[in-house]
């Protein structure tokens, strides 16, 4: 059969018709891609050209290998079939558009069979993936898709089905090999071959339609995914950037700081890498599914945040490209409610298949609102004022910070091999002071040279930084670092994951490069393995463990707490790096929360569902929030820090030994 491109259709040959249709669709596609690129490049500078080996590796496993996509086995599997299918069949599009010039004139004959086999496998894979996805959408509609328009997604799937099915009909009239092209060979024996020309033009029109739809829809991620994954943030998760950095990449100290604006208010104050996220979102809603603020009914949907950035750019493209600023600010577009609802748990960032960075978009807006426009929740005034005057959000005097340890015979403000950084909650909150006492007891029991800073310890700055008060954070950080330097502090232990992250991952930007920091569960696990602390005896009680966000997902400390416990009896439905937030992070501990929209209630219900006697905790804020949540849902469970559980066992053992010695003395 003569190739459809070489057939004349009235006054026009087929290749002219394809040139008009294909050229028009390609021109439209390129115009939209160039427009999007111009808008992206309006963003502020962002050095993402380091760590090339890491970036290439992540591109291979993250984009090509679809690592994060496959975390959802069902939807991810369907997407992978279509993704890899299109990679395999892509060269066939060139061949079909050139009347088989590629396969007949460029490709060596020896490779023709294998190439045809790969192409047919690609079409088959895409067909299976698209069919499964369409059935899932129409018949087994996921909850997150119900009640929402699925026209765009379904139409794209219909186009994929059309492209794949017509390919087999086109293939059937080109002497398909029974070995390499079994489906095409089978179709060749049917009457479908009579529709080969119709199939060809349907195929090409579908591809042209696809080209037009890509830049106008969520499928723009097909273009932007590669740069988005390649230029992902190679810094530790949740590490925030300083207000300004010098040539060495370190933060400019406060006494030398001279900047005119803080955070983000206008579109072009976002970096180009933050902006490109808007064109990379696939609308898979995975970020939405794991967001604690969204789950509790608040006005934050991380997927919508990303779309807001893209929609803002498209709405104001003529103004932005002229270098002018729209009247609407980014805060107004994203909304104050959304900005201040975030707990900074980074579940959205962790789960995103395309490495979208949701949280920094919100914390950058907080910086501007807190330090420039003063558009922040009024209740934060108390915590920020206390941090500034007393270096703790509770407002207690600095001289009281070490009172909890007066009778413990521990070094205070002196050099020691390990410094226990107590944190504000364990210093001043009566409930968490028990954790501090238990931690010191365990460290001394194991024979460690340990001390505390006492009144010389200040807040790590986490509440200030997550709420956007970057200036106050830097002041607190620089003060603590000066204390560390003066005392020669090299190793720090803390029971607070927020201090663990802030000191361990963020203080390095301010000069504290050589600090080693450990969460207390890491040290306990190590001391147990060395035989310096006993294994935990549960005494018949069942224990589960709640993973704090800043310890498990962000801090990558998952196994050590479970090791100290000797394993958990029942895991919470969402645990480890997939744990659900308690609701206290992102300075939410110091803000009001609607009674009917409490994150900790959702988490408490999940914890209570384990049926365990005790929930072990590894964070002072989680301890408060989980206990409050369990009380709200009427669950009678003990809430104990891991250090408390182990220390209580040692104290009980010592009592038994003491009682036994006294009994022996009396008898003798």
State mean pLDDT over 326-337. 97
Say which residues have a Cβ less than 8 Å from residue 74's Cβ, sequence separation at least 6. 136
Query: Is pLDDT of 156 > 70?
Result: yes
Question: Is the pLDDT assigned to residue 338 strictly greater than 80?
Answer: yes
Pick the CATH number of 383-529 from 3.30.70, 3.40.50, 3.30.160, 3.90.1480: 3.40.50
What whole-number distance in Å separates Cα of residue 163 and Cα of residue 130?
11
* CATH architecture entry for 254-373: Orthogonal Bundle (1.10)
Write out the two tokens for 144.
């997150």
Total count of residues recorded for the chain: 668
Q: What are the pLDDT digits (tens) for 570-585?
A: 999 999 999 999 999 9
CA distance 504 to 518: 8
**What pLDDT shows up at residue 139?**
85
How confident is the model over 369-426, as pLDDT tens digits? 999 999 999 999 999 999 999 999 999 999 999 999 999 999 999 999 999 999 999 9
C-alpha 154/C-alpha 372 separation (Å) is 45
Nearest partner of 592 among 366, 395, 377, judged by Cα: 377
d(CA 448, CA 399): 26
How far apart are alpha carbons 550 and 502 in whole angstroms? Answer: 10
What average pLDDT does the segment 661-665 reach?
66
pLDDT at 322 (0 to 100): 96
CA 216 to chain CA centroid, nearest Å: 26
Find the DSSP H helices in 10-141.
14-40, 52-58, 73-97, 101, 109-138
CB 458 within 8 A of CB 475: no
Nearest to 347 by CA among 633, 626, 547: 547
Cα–Cα dist 367/587, whole Å: 13
Rounded distance between C-alpha atoms, residue 387 and residue 501, angstroms? 19
Instruction: Name the band, by pLDDT with cuts 50, 70 and 90, for residue 662.
Output: low
d(CA 195, CA 175): 16
Digit-coded pLDDT (tens) for 295-330:
999 999 999 999 999 999 999 999 999 999 999 999
d(CA 180, CA 190): 18
Helix (H, G, I), strand (E, B) or coil at 238: coil
Using a 10 angstrom Cβ sphere, with 0-12 exposed, 13-18 middle and 19 or more buried, the burial of residue 277 is: buried
Is the sign of the CA dihedral 492, 497, 503, 509 positive or negative? positive
At 639 the pLDDT is: 97
Q: Which two tokens stand for residue 344?
A: 């900074």
Q: Is the alpha carbon torsion for 426, 432, 438, 439 positive or negative?
A: negative
As a whole number, the mean pLDDT across the chain is 94
3-state secondary structure of 519: strand
| CA–CA gap between residue 360 and residue 240 (Å, rounded) | 8
H or E element, residue 321 = helix 317-321
No. of helices (H) and no. of strands (E), the chain: 29, 10
Residues facing 271 on adjacent strands: 44
Ranges of each domain in the chain? 4-224, 254-373, 383-529, 543-651
Q: b/e map of 95-110 (b: 16 or more CB within 10 Å)?
A: bbbbbeebbeeebeee
pLDDT reported for residue 380: 96
Across the range 421-441, mean pLDDT stands at 97
- Can you tell me which residue has the tokens 């205070």? 412
Decide: 88 and 118 in contact? Cβ < 8 Å.
Answer: yes
In DSSP terms, 641 is beta-bridged to 617
pLDDT digits (tens, 9 = 90+) for 96-132: 999 999 999 999 999 999 999 999 999 999 999 999 9
β 491-494/516-519 pair status: parallel
- Alpha carbon distance 100, 95 (integer Å): 5
**What is the per-residue DSSP string for 523-558?**
HHHHHHHTTSSPPP--TT--EEE---TTTTTTT---
pTM value? 0.93
pLDDT computed for residue 226 by the predictor? 96
Sign of CA dihedral 173, 175, 179, 185: positive
pLDDT (0 to 100) of residue 376: 94
> Among 577, 561, 574, which Cα is nearest to 609's?
574
Q: What number of CA atoms fall less than 13 Å from residue 534's CA on the CB side?
A: 14
Q: And the tokens for 204?
A: 């090409």
| Structure confidence at residue 151 (pLDDT) | 83
Nearest CA-CA partner of 618 in 483, 456, 425, 478: 425
Closest CA to 174 of 149, 197, 143, 148: 197
């Amino acid at each position: 059969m003569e190739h459809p491109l070489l057939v004349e259709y009235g006054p026009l040959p087929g290749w002219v018709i394809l040139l008009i249709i294909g050229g028009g669709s390609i021109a439209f596609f390129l115009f939209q891609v160039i427009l999007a690129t111009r808008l992206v490049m309006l963003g502020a500078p962002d050095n993402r050209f380091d760590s090339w080996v890491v970036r290439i590796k992540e591109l291979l496993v993250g984009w090509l290998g679809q690592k994060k996509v496959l975390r959802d086995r069902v939807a991810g599997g369907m997407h992978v079939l279509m993704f890899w299918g299109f990679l395999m069949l892509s060269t066939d599009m060139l061949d079909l558009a050139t009347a088989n010039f590629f396969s007949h004139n460029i490709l060596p004959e020896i490779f023709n069979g294998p190439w045809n086999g790969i192409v047919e496998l690609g079409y088959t894979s895409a067909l299976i993936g698209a069919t499964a996805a369409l059935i899932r959408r129409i018949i087994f509609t996921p909850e997150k898709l119900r009640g929402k328009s699925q026209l765009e997604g379904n139409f794209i799937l219909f186009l994929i089905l059309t492209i794949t099915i017509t390919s087999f009909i086109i293939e059937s009239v080109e002497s398909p090999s029974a070995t390499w092209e079994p489906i095409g060979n089978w179709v060749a024996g049917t009457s479908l071959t009579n529709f080969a020309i119709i199939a060809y033009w349907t195929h090409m029109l579908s591809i042209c339609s696809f080209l037009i739809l890509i830049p106008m829809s969520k499928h723009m991620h097909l273009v932007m995914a590669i740069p988005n994954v390649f230029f992902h943030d190679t810094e530790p998760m949740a590490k925030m950037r300083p207000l300004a950095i010098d040539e060495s990449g370190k933060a400019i100290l406060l006494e030398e700081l001279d900047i005119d604006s803080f955070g983000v208010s206008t579109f072009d104050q976002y970096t180009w890498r933050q902006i490109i996220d808007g064109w990379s979102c696939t609308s898979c809603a995975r970020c939405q599914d794991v967001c604690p603020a969204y789950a509790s009914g608040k006005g934050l949907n991380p997927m919508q945040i990303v779309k807001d950035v893209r929609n803002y750019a498209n709405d104001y493209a003529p103004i932005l490209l002229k270098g002018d600023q729209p009247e609407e600010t980014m805060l107004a577009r994203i909304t104050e409610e959304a900005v201040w609802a975030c707990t900074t748990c980074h579940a959205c960032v962790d789960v995103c298949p395309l490495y979208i960075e949701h949280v920094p978009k919100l914390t950058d807006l907080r910086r501007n609102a807190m330090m420039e426009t003063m558009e922040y929740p009024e209740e934060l005034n108390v915590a920020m004022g206390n941090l500034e005057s007393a270096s703790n959000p509770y407002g207690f005097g600095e001289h009281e910070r070490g009172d909890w340890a007066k009778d413990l015979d521990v070094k205070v403000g002196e050099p020691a091999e390990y410094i226990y950084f107590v944190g504000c909650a364990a210093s001043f909150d009566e409930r968490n002071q028990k954790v501090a006492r238990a931690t010191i007891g365990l460290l001394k029991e194991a024979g460690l040279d340990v001390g505390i800073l006492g009144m010389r310890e200040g807040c790590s700055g986490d509440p200030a930084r997550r709420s956007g008060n970057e200036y106050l954070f830097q002041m607190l950080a620089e003060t603590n670092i000066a204390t560390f330097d003066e005392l020669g502090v090299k190793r720090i232990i803390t029971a607070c994951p927020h201090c663990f992250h802030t000191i361990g991952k963020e203080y390095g930007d301010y000069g504290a490069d050589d600090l080693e920091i450990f969460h207390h569960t890491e040290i306990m696990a190590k001391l147990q393995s060395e035989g310096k602390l006993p294994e935990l005896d549960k005494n018949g009680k069942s224990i589960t463990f709640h993973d704090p966000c800043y310890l498990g997902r962000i801090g990558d400390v998952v196994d050590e707490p479970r090791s100290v416990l000797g394993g958990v009896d029942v895991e919470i439905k969402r645990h480890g790096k997939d744990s659900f937030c308690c609701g206290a992070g992102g300075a939410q501990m110091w803000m009001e929360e609607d009674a009917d929209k409490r994150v900790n209630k959702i988490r408490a219900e999940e914890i209570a569902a384990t049926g365990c006697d005790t929930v072990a905790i590894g964070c002072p804020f989680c301890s408060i929030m989980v206990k409050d949540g369990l009380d709200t849902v009427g669950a009678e469970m003990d809430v104990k820090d891991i250090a408390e559980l182990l220390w209580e066992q040692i104290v009980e053992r010592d009592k038994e030994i003491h009682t036994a010695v006294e009994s022996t003395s009396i008898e003798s």
